[in-house]
Amino acid sequence: MGESSTEIRDRHAKSQRARNLIDYSAGESQSFLEACVAGHIRPELADAAYEQMQRLEFFDVFRYASPPAIELAARLAEITSGSLQRVHFTPGGSEAVETAIKIAKQYHMIVRGDKKRYKVITREGAYHGCTFGAMAVDGEYFGTQIHFYDPLPPFGRTSPPPYHYRCQHCANEDACNLTCIEDIEQVILREDPETIAAIAPPLTMGEEEIEHMIGIVDQALTIYEERYL
Ligand SMILES: Cc1ncc(COP(=O)(O)O)c(C=O)c1O
Protein backbone atom coordinates (compact mmCIF):
# COMPACT_ATOMS: atom_id res chain seq x y z
CA MET A 1 0.00 0.00 0.00
CA GLY A 2 1.33 3.45 -0.88
CA GLU A 3 1.42 6.32 1.57
CA SER A 4 -1.55 8.64 1.52
CA SER A 5 -0.97 12.17 0.28
CA THR A 6 -1.84 15.25 2.30
CA GLU A 7 -1.12 17.95 -0.28
CA ILE A 8 -1.07 17.60 -4.01
CA ARG A 9 -0.56 20.20 -6.73
CA ASP A 10 0.40 20.00 -10.39
CA ARG A 11 2.24 16.66 -10.34
CA HIS A 12 3.90 16.94 -6.91
CA ALA A 13 2.49 15.51 -3.71
CA LYS A 14 3.59 15.52 -0.08
CA SER A 15 2.99 12.30 1.82
CA GLN A 16 1.79 12.03 5.41
CA ARG A 17 5.38 11.31 6.41
CA ALA A 18 6.45 14.55 4.66
CA ARG A 19 8.10 12.77 1.76
CA ASN A 20 8.01 14.54 -1.60
CA LEU A 21 6.32 12.35 -4.22
CA ILE A 22 5.93 12.83 -7.94
CA ASP A 23 2.64 11.55 -9.32
CA TYR A 24 3.81 10.01 -12.58
CA SER A 25 0.24 9.71 -13.81
CA ALA A 26 -0.44 13.46 -13.73
CA GLY A 27 1.11 16.12 -15.90
CA GLU A 28 2.60 16.19 -19.35
CA SER A 29 5.05 13.32 -19.75
CA GLN A 30 3.05 10.29 -18.58
CA SER A 31 -0.36 11.89 -18.76
CA PHE A 32 -1.75 9.72 -21.53
CA LEU A 33 -2.26 6.83 -19.16
CA GLU A 34 -4.38 8.34 -16.44
CA ALA A 35 -7.16 10.80 -15.69
CA CYS A 36 -5.20 13.86 -14.48
CA VAL A 37 -3.79 14.79 -17.85
CA ALA A 38 -3.47 18.45 -16.95
CA GLY A 39 -1.94 17.92 -13.49
CA HIS A 40 -3.63 18.25 -10.10
CA ILE A 41 -5.39 21.35 -8.74
CA ARG A 42 -5.56 23.58 -11.77
CA PRO A 43 -7.65 26.59 -10.63
CA GLU A 44 -8.90 27.34 -14.15
CA LEU A 45 -10.26 23.77 -14.49
CA ALA A 46 -11.88 23.93 -11.02
CA ASP A 47 -13.51 27.28 -11.96
CA ALA A 48 -14.80 25.91 -15.28
CA ALA A 49 -16.21 22.80 -13.56
CA TYR A 50 -17.88 24.93 -10.83
CA GLU A 51 -19.42 27.25 -13.38
CA GLN A 52 -20.70 24.33 -15.48
CA MET A 53 -22.06 22.46 -12.46
CA GLN A 54 -24.26 25.44 -11.59
CA ARG A 55 -25.91 25.11 -15.02
CA LEU A 56 -25.91 21.37 -15.82
CA GLU A 57 -23.84 18.94 -13.77
CA PHE A 58 -24.63 15.65 -15.55
CA PHE A 59 -26.70 14.43 -18.45
CA ASP A 60 -26.97 10.84 -19.67
CA VAL A 61 -24.34 10.60 -22.42
CA PHE A 62 -25.76 7.36 -23.80
CA ARG A 63 -29.14 8.84 -24.73
CA TYR A 64 -28.90 12.60 -24.97
CA ALA A 65 -26.74 15.41 -26.24
CA SER A 66 -26.22 18.61 -24.24
CA PRO A 67 -24.70 21.99 -25.17
CA PRO A 68 -21.28 21.32 -23.54
CA ALA A 69 -21.11 17.84 -25.12
CA ILE A 70 -21.96 19.27 -28.55
CA GLU A 71 -19.32 21.98 -28.12
CA LEU A 72 -16.68 19.44 -27.08
CA ALA A 73 -17.58 17.08 -29.95
CA ALA A 74 -17.15 19.94 -32.43
CA ARG A 75 -13.79 20.84 -30.88
CA LEU A 76 -12.62 17.19 -31.08
CA ALA A 77 -13.61 17.01 -34.75
CA GLU A 78 -11.64 20.20 -35.31
CA ILE A 79 -8.40 19.09 -33.63
CA THR A 80 -8.32 15.47 -34.79
CA SER A 81 -7.15 14.55 -38.24
CA GLY A 82 -9.55 12.98 -40.72
CA SER A 83 -13.26 13.57 -41.06
CA LEU A 84 -14.81 12.82 -37.69
CA GLN A 85 -18.58 12.80 -38.14
CA ARG A 86 -19.80 11.42 -34.83
CA VAL A 87 -18.60 11.50 -31.23
CA HIS A 88 -19.96 9.26 -28.48
CA PHE A 89 -18.89 10.20 -24.95
CA THR A 90 -18.60 7.70 -22.11
CA PRO A 91 -17.90 8.25 -18.42
CA GLY A 92 -14.45 6.60 -18.58
CA GLY A 93 -11.84 4.72 -20.59
CA SER A 94 -12.94 1.14 -19.86
CA GLU A 95 -16.50 2.02 -20.82
CA ALA A 96 -15.21 3.68 -23.99
CA VAL A 97 -13.45 0.44 -24.95
CA GLU A 98 -16.50 -1.72 -24.21
CA THR A 99 -18.80 0.72 -26.02
CA ALA A 100 -16.55 0.64 -29.09
CA ILE A 101 -16.68 -3.17 -29.09
CA LYS A 102 -20.48 -3.07 -28.79
CA ILE A 103 -20.72 -0.56 -31.65
CA ALA A 104 -18.52 -2.83 -33.82
CA LYS A 105 -20.79 -5.82 -33.13
CA GLN A 106 -23.92 -3.78 -33.86
CA TYR A 107 -22.35 -2.47 -37.06
CA HIS A 108 -21.72 -5.99 -38.39
CA MET A 109 -25.10 -7.26 -37.29
CA ILE A 110 -27.37 -4.36 -38.26
CA VAL A 111 -25.55 -2.63 -41.13
CA ARG A 112 -23.93 -5.68 -42.75
CA GLY A 113 -26.36 -8.40 -41.66
CA ASP A 114 -23.40 -10.44 -40.36
CA LYS A 115 -24.00 -12.18 -37.03
CA LYS A 116 -20.81 -14.23 -36.89
CA ARG A 117 -18.26 -11.55 -36.03
CA TYR A 118 -17.39 -11.25 -32.36
CA LYS A 119 -13.60 -11.47 -31.92
CA VAL A 120 -11.51 -8.39 -31.19
CA ILE A 121 -7.77 -8.37 -31.90
CA THR A 122 -5.48 -6.43 -29.58
CA ARG A 123 -1.70 -6.47 -28.97
CA GLU A 124 0.17 -8.46 -26.34
CA GLY A 125 0.77 -6.36 -23.22
CA ALA A 126 -1.90 -3.80 -24.17
CA TYR A 127 -3.97 -2.13 -21.46
CA HIS A 128 -7.58 -1.27 -22.22
CA GLY A 129 -9.07 -0.99 -18.76
CA CYS A 130 -10.13 -2.94 -15.71
CA THR A 131 -13.79 -3.80 -16.31
CA PHE A 132 -14.38 -7.37 -17.47
CA GLY A 133 -15.09 -6.50 -21.12
CA ALA A 134 -12.02 -4.28 -21.33
CA MET A 135 -9.91 -6.92 -19.61
CA ALA A 136 -10.93 -9.36 -22.33
CA VAL A 137 -8.86 -7.23 -24.73
CA ASP A 138 -6.15 -6.30 -22.26
CA GLY A 139 -3.58 -8.42 -24.06
CA GLU A 140 -2.38 -10.31 -20.95
CA TYR A 141 -1.60 -6.97 -19.30
CA PHE A 142 -2.59 -8.51 -15.97
CA GLY A 143 -0.07 -11.27 -16.67
CA THR A 144 0.27 -13.99 -14.09
CA GLN A 145 -2.62 -12.61 -12.02
CA ILE A 146 -5.17 -13.25 -14.77
CA HIS A 147 -6.33 -16.56 -13.23
CA PHE A 148 -7.99 -14.56 -10.42
CA TYR A 149 -10.54 -13.31 -12.96
CA ASP A 150 -11.15 -16.33 -15.18
CA PRO A 151 -13.27 -16.93 -17.13
CA LEU A 152 -13.08 -13.60 -18.95
CA PRO A 153 -15.43 -12.84 -21.86
CA PRO A 154 -14.12 -14.98 -24.74
CA PHE A 155 -13.74 -12.44 -27.56
CA GLY A 156 -10.16 -11.12 -27.10
CA ARG A 157 -7.27 -12.27 -29.32
CA THR A 158 -3.70 -10.95 -29.28
CA SER A 159 -0.97 -10.31 -31.80
CA PRO A 160 2.67 -9.38 -31.01
CA PRO A 161 3.18 -5.80 -29.85
CA PRO A 162 4.59 -3.01 -32.06
CA TYR A 163 7.46 -2.47 -29.66
CA HIS A 164 10.69 -1.84 -31.56
CA TYR A 165 13.03 -2.38 -28.58
CA ARG A 166 11.94 -6.01 -28.13
CA CYS A 167 10.46 -6.66 -31.58
CA GLN A 168 11.01 -10.15 -33.01
CA HIS A 169 11.21 -8.65 -36.52
CA CYS A 170 13.23 -5.45 -36.23
CA ALA A 171 14.86 -5.07 -32.80
CA ASN A 172 18.24 -5.37 -34.53
CA GLU A 173 17.42 -2.71 -37.10
CA ASP A 174 17.61 1.06 -36.64
CA ALA A 175 13.87 1.56 -36.86
CA CYS A 176 10.56 -0.30 -36.96
CA ASN A 177 10.14 -1.99 -40.35
CA LEU A 178 6.36 -2.38 -39.94
CA THR A 179 6.46 -6.19 -40.23
CA CYS A 180 4.27 -6.39 -37.12
CA ILE A 181 1.33 -5.33 -39.28
CA GLU A 182 1.61 -8.76 -40.94
CA ASP A 183 1.31 -10.33 -37.48
CA ILE A 184 -2.18 -8.87 -37.18
CA GLU A 185 -3.09 -10.33 -40.55
CA GLN A 186 -1.78 -13.73 -39.43
CA VAL A 187 -4.10 -13.62 -36.41
CA ILE A 188 -7.04 -12.66 -38.65
CA LEU A 189 -6.32 -15.68 -40.88
CA ARG A 190 -5.67 -18.04 -37.99
CA GLU A 191 -8.91 -17.09 -36.24
CA ASP A 192 -11.05 -17.16 -39.42
CA PRO A 193 -11.58 -13.69 -40.93
CA GLU A 194 -15.35 -14.10 -40.80
CA THR A 195 -15.29 -14.07 -37.00
CA ILE A 196 -13.27 -10.85 -36.57
CA ALA A 197 -15.44 -7.91 -35.46
CA ALA A 198 -12.75 -5.33 -34.69
CA ILE A 199 -9.09 -4.57 -34.27
CA ALA A 200 -8.34 -2.62 -31.12
CA PRO A 201 -4.61 -1.96 -30.86
CA PRO A 202 -3.55 0.57 -28.25
CA LEU A 203 -2.13 3.83 -29.59
CA THR A 204 0.28 4.28 -26.71
CA MET A 205 2.68 1.47 -25.95
CA GLY A 206 6.37 1.21 -25.16
CA GLU A 207 8.49 4.12 -26.30
CA GLU A 208 7.07 4.39 -29.80
CA GLU A 209 5.95 7.76 -31.18
CA ILE A 210 2.19 8.26 -31.33
CA GLU A 211 2.31 9.19 -35.06
CA HIS A 212 4.13 5.93 -35.76
CA MET A 213 1.54 3.95 -33.80
CA ILE A 214 -1.31 5.69 -35.62
CA GLY A 215 0.36 4.74 -38.93
CA ILE A 216 0.56 1.08 -37.88
CA VAL A 217 -3.07 1.01 -36.74
CA ASP A 218 -4.17 2.77 -39.91
CA GLN A 219 -2.45 0.21 -42.14
CA ALA A 220 -3.76 -2.75 -40.12
CA LEU A 221 -7.32 -1.41 -40.37
CA THR A 222 -6.96 -0.84 -44.11
CA ILE A 223 -5.86 -4.46 -44.60
CA TYR A 224 -8.78 -5.67 -42.46
CA GLU A 225 -11.36 -3.54 -44.27
CA GLU A 226 -10.09 -4.19 -47.80
CA ARG A 227 -9.42 -7.92 -47.52
CA TYR A 228 -11.60 -9.34 -44.76
CA LEU A 229 -14.86 -7.41 -44.66
C1 LIG B 1 -5.33 2.96 -23.32
C2 LIG B 1 -6.28 2.92 -22.17
N3 LIG B 1 -7.52 2.43 -22.36
C4 LIG B 1 -8.40 2.35 -21.34
C5 LIG B 1 -8.08 2.78 -20.06
C6 LIG B 1 -9.09 2.64 -18.95
O7 LIG B 1 -9.60 3.87 -18.56
P8 LIG B 1 -10.41 4.05 -17.20
O9 LIG B 1 -9.42 3.86 -16.10
O10 LIG B 1 -10.94 5.46 -17.28
O11 LIG B 1 -11.51 3.05 -17.18
C12 LIG B 1 -6.81 3.32 -19.82
C13 LIG B 1 -6.44 3.78 -18.48
O14 LIG B 1 -5.31 4.02 -18.14
C15 LIG B 1 -5.88 3.37 -20.90
O16 LIG B 1 -4.64 3.84 -20.72
Residue 153 has pLDDT above 50, yes or no: yes
130 CA from centroid of ligand 1 (Å): 8
| % of the chain residues with pLDDT over 90 | 52
Looking at 3.40.640.10, 1.10.3720.10, 3.20.20.70, 3.40.50.150, the CATH number of the domain 93-228 comes to 3.40.640.10
33 CA from centroid of ligand 1 (Å): 7
Q: What are the pLDDT digits (tens) for 189-223? A: 999 999 999 999 877 666 567 788 888 888 999 99
| 35 CA: nearest ligand 1 atom | 10
pLDDT at 215: 87
Are the C-beta atoms of 216 and 162 separated by less than 8 Å? Answer: yes
Phi-psi sector, 191: left (phi>0), alpha (psi -120 to 50), beta = alpha
Residue 81 has pLDDT above 90, yes or no: no
Sheet holding 196-199, edge to edge: 156-159, 119-123, 196-199
| 96 CA: nearest ligand 1 atom | 4
Q: Which of 25, 120, 128 to mutate to test the pocket of ligand 1 (most atoms within 8 A of CB)?
A: 128
Ligand 1 pocket at CB < 6 A: 33-34, 92-94, 97, 127-129, 202
Q: Nearest to residue 208, comparing CAs of 148, 125, 147?
A: 125
Which residue ranges does the chain devote to CATH 3.40.640.10?
93-228
129 CA from centroid of ligand 1 (Å): 5
35 CA from centroid of ligand 1 (Å): 8
Q: What are the pLDDT digits (tens) for 15-57? A: 777 777 777 665 555 444 566 777 778 899 999 999 999 999 9
What angle (nearest 5°) sits at the alpha carbon of residue 44, between those of residues 41 and 46?
55
Contacts of 116 (CB under 8 A, 6+ apart): 194, 195
62 CA from centroid of ligand 1 (Å): 19
Is 227 in a helix, a strand, or coil?
Answer: helix
| 203 CA: nearest ligand 1 atom | 1
pLDDT at 190: 97
| 94 CA: nearest ligand 1 atom | 11
What pTM does this model have? Answer: 0.84
32 CA from centroid of ligand 1 (Å): 9
